[in-house]
Chains A and B, each alone.
Chain A
Amino acid sequence: MMRFHIMDHTGHSTLEFTAEQKADASAKFAELLAEKKIVGTRKEGEMDYRKVKSFEQIEDEAIFTPARVGG
């Protein structure tokens, strides 16, 4: 199971994809990455925040944060 956490006004939405839905997850990843700018990931269950550039870098779970602006 792959999880995408997308930050929004609801206190994040979570999308889940099964192994069979990998193509769908990849397409959604591309869409979110274009909009959300940066992603945090887990790696083998540990914290490993990286600026993800490709879908293959995500092992199981990712967070998509909105674009940032000066406060």
Chain B
Amino acid sequence: MIENEPDGLCCRWSAGYYNVGTDSFLTRFDAIMGRQLGVLYNIAHFRLEYRDFALTHYAGQIDEVRRRARVQPGLQFYCSFHVTPQMLPAGGQLRIRLPQLDYTVIDRTDRSEAHNKSIDLLRAWLSPIQLTEYDNQDHFTVRGSDTGTNYRLIPAYSYNILELGENGEPNGQKFCVVPAERVAMGDQLLAQKIWLETDERATLKIANKLVRSDRGDGDGDNNRLSLAEITREAMRLFRNSSTLLQNINAQADAHNGECP
């Protein structure tokens, strides 16, 4: 379950954790936890009471994330709370284990020399339009060499390539393809820009893909669309196989007729 808040933070329940953070972190969370759990969203234990519990008892920490995100919008912050059924009201009593250690606010800013060098190189190779976009919004748009599709590259180490729809906004399709060697963020973004602008098809062919709606309006629409497409493809294959079997049977009958 994803909730988009007015100040740009995203809140989500996943696998018993309530996460509040900027989108870049949640993207990373998807890649890590989604792979470990084998599912993207594990909300089997989700109950509205959990959310209310977290919002009430962790309000201070959530406000701190909001405050830091407003002050430094280009950075990534998050806090994560583990909520279990045992922590919820039981028998009229609230059993609370306030896990102070479960709360973290992480400043993921990389201020290393390598990072700064890579950003300088990236900025030198961005087009004027891309540079303006990057300076103002901390991301930039590239156009795919084969399909002309626009992609938004955001500074994150996984699933940071967001496909844009006709309205210029992310349509929920994300890609993850990165340099085989660990490189600084600026170098990674520049490499991805070059790949997409010169060899889009081959790049996306090996990319990991994630289809999801981030807009909060009709979460899962893309998945339903994909399911419909899969169903159509399955029906087509079935019809083809049925025709093939009929042809084989017809050939077998003809063959039997020739050789009694």
Q: Which residues of A pack against B, CB within 8 Å?
A: 5, 7-12, 38, 40, 47, 49-51, 63, 65-71
- Looking at the assembled complex, report how far the CB atom of A3 sits from the nearest CB atom of chain B, in whole angstroms: 11
Contact of B181 among A8, A63, A70 (CB under 8 A): A8
Contact of A70 among B112, B114, B176, B198 (CB under 8 A): B176
Interfacial chain B residues near A71, Cβ < 8 Å: 31, 157-159, 175-178, 207-208
Interfacial chain B residues near A51, Cβ < 8 Å: 198-199
Interfacial chain A residues near B113, Cβ < 8 Å: 10-11
Majority SS of interface residues in chain A? loop
A9 contacts B176, CB within 8 Å?
no
The answer to the question of B16 belonging to the interface, with a C-beta cut-off of 8 Å to chain A, is no
A47 contacts B116, CB within 8 Å?
no
A66-B180, A67-B179, A69-B206 known; A49-B117 Cβ under 8 A: no
- Looking at the assembled complex, report how far the CB atom of B118 sits from the nearest CB atom of chain A, in whole angstroms: 4
B177 contacts A69, CB within 8 Å?
yes
Chain B residue total in the interface (Cβ 8 A): 38
Can you show 14 pairs from A to B with CB atoms below 8 A apart?
A7-B179, A10-B113, A40-B198, A51-B198, A63-B125, A63-B190, A63-B191, A66-B179, A66-B180, A68-B179, A68-B180, A69-B180, A70-B206, A71-B31
A5 CA to B118 CA, complexed, in Å? 10
Interfacial chain A residues near B180, Cβ < 8 Å: 66-69
- Looking at the assembled complex, report how far the CB atom of A68 sits from the nearest CB atom of chain B, in whole angstroms: 5
Instruction: Name A9's closest neighbour in chain B (CB-CB).
Output: B182
